[in-house]
Structure 1
Amino acid sequence: MADAAKPQEAGQRSVLRATFRHNGVGTELIEKYHTAPVKIAKAFPVQKQLAVIVMDVSPGMLEGDVYEMEWTAGSRTHTMITNQSFMKIHPCYGGGTASLTQTFDLEAGAVMENMPEPVMLYKEASLLSDTTIRLSAGSVWMGADVLCPGRGLRGERFVYRDYDNRLSVYLGEELIFAQRQWINPARQRLQAKGSWEKATHWAYFYVFSDEVGGELVNKLQATIDGYESPAAHNVTAAASLTYKHGAVVSACSTAAWPLQELMRLLWDTTRDALFGMPPLRLLQG
């Protein structure tokens, strides 16, 4: 008899596509398409840009689920994308995985800010996340990732199966950045010295553009140096230039919320440095 607590692969495929253009006054959503359970819940103008909130009407990603999201930003558009809550990855008992594929295509002078809520990996969860960014001259893409080790109140900490996070960035036809983060807690010594040690949560903040240089990195590092970690959850972080046309901040802690706060401060710093724009507090409830 099959174990009722170990469901087979669900195999739900959900597609979301959205296209933005500048209408001479601001950014508008001109095309959208989605299949359940993911959809655009709301799109509205704020601070001379368009904010987009993505909703997942399911309990979260199950084994075999495939989410595909395609974002196309026309010339001079300015868009901010977020979601309503943590991305929850449920157990994958059958040996399969959940898969999230995202592409961001930016035309000349377009700006996209991708600031989702953290990823939460349940016990025995497995997630493949593959993101491709295609930039044009003068375009800017920035985003943040925060990864949680499991549901702490249920005693879950690094009991997920694996997390495979891939990012590729192109400027025109040139590959300017490629990163793969693969975490398999059962096979890796995450608490070893020089690895995660006591940290349980990890975050990245990215900025890619042909306008990014050392001045922005210095401002990001100054923001990090000025951030006061909460006493119970020390945050370790550093900023650096990428090989070409980019800056990355890597940060770790023992809780998600201090990392989320640091990501917001880095976001504020970048908006001010590149656009002279004030903080966007859409994510605060």
Structure 2
Amino acid sequence: MISELKITTGLRGSRTFLQEGYYTRPFKLADIGAYRADSTLCLMLMTASPGMLDGDDYRMHITVSDHTRLQLQTQAYQRLYTMQAGARQQMEVQVGQGAAFSYVPHPVVPHADAVFEGHNRIYLQENSRLVWGEIITCGRKLCGEAFRFRLFHNVTELYYRGRLVLKDNLLLEPARINVAAHGQLEGYTHQATLVYADTQVGAAPMADRLLELLAREPDIAYGVSQSAGPAIVLRILGHGAEQLFSCLRNMETILFNHHLAIL
């Protein structure tokens, strides 16, 4: 089933509002920031489905207009159910001049024989900022389904000034690639990725602060890389979805508040 989501923000005075919100089932949108003191639009993406099913095709288009700020949250863990053909998701994000966008969804839980392919394209303009997160788990570990999914392949591309400045290509295919091998997960069961971009002052100055935050966390491995453009990529390996999700949400708060502080 093809499911569509379209979000366009607008500016009314100094506050961001939802100028266009279009979605088909199973998607729903809720404004959860109506009583916040700041002017950011905070939306929650909800779904009436228990997760992605075989043949699902999600197509999302988000336009964060010039000088607006959008924080998009999810309602619950994203489950990928047992499949034959597989499920797909495409997401395109336009972040306008002087705009900011933050998206740190709940972890993905692939069930046995799940097949997922995703492609994210993000376009940044001058003086724009981005916080983008992703967490992939081993599956239902307590049900004996650790790494029993067939394929998880997600590509995220970041463009600035018409150039590709970052490409994150995450491929997990446990039957063909040993996830415990050197250069793979190396004994860990969960992986989190955080991309932070700032086309005004650059993202590198925030790297040390994020590493200091992670240094307090037990039983994880992590590292940060500078991209070819004004972005950094933080990778975390761990054993628990809640721990990694908490880490990403804490960093999201720091980065988004940092953005507001320097406006």
Query: Does the alignment reach a TM-score above 0.5?
Result: yes
Q: What's the C-alpha RMSD, in Å, of the aligned pairs? A: 1.5
Displacement after TM superposition at 1:43 (Å): 4.8
CA shift digits 1:239-271 (9 cap, x unpaired): 221121101110011111111121122223323
Aligned partner of 1:49 in structure 2 is 40
Determine the structure 1 residue equivalent to 2:138.
Answer: 149
SS at match of 1:191: coil
What's the CA shift string for 1:44-102, capped at 9, x where partnerless?
3333211100111012111110011111111111110011101111111x2x1101111
Equivalent pairs counted in the alignment come to 259
Distance in 1 (alpha carbons) for counterparts of 2:165 and 2:82 = 35
The TM-score normalised by the length of structure 2 is: 0.94
SS in 1 for 2:33: strand
CA contact 2:204–2:231 (8 Å) conserved in 1: no
Which structure has the bigger radius of gyration?
1
1:219 aligned to 2:193? no
Q: Is 2:105 aligned against 1:120? A: no
State the partner residue of 1:244.
Answer: 229
| Aligned 1:164-243 pairs, distance under 5 A | 164-210=153-199, 211-225=201-215, 227-229=216-218, 234-243=219-228
Cα offset for 1:24? Answer: 1.3
State the AA in 1 paired with 2:168.
Answer: Q
- Between the aligned partners of 2:27 and 2:104, the Cα distance in structure 1 is 17
Q: Conserved in 1, the CA contact under 8 Å of 2:118 and 2:155?
A: yes
Deviation, 1:172, is: 2.8
> What letter matches 1:244 in structure 2?
G
Shift of 1:207: 0.7
Q: Which runs of 5+ in 2 are unaligned?
A: none
Helix, strand or coil at the partner of 1:170: strand
**Structure 1 gap ranges (5+):** 1-11, 278-285
Indicate the larger mover: 18-27 or 191-200. 191-200
Secondary structure at the residue paired with 1:36?
A: coil
Match of 1:26 in 2: 15
Q: What SS is found at the alignment partner of 1:180? A: strand
| Structure 2 residue matching 1:137: 3-state secondary structure | coil
CA distance in 2, matches of 1:196, 1:119: 16
Q: Deviations over 1:109-161 (max 9, x none)?
A: 11011011111100000111111101110011111111111112211100000
Cα distance, 1:274 vs structure 2: 3.4
Structure 2 residue 60 is the aligned partner of structure 1 residue 69: yes
CA distance in 2, matches of 1:138, 1:14: 32
Letter paired with 1:218: D
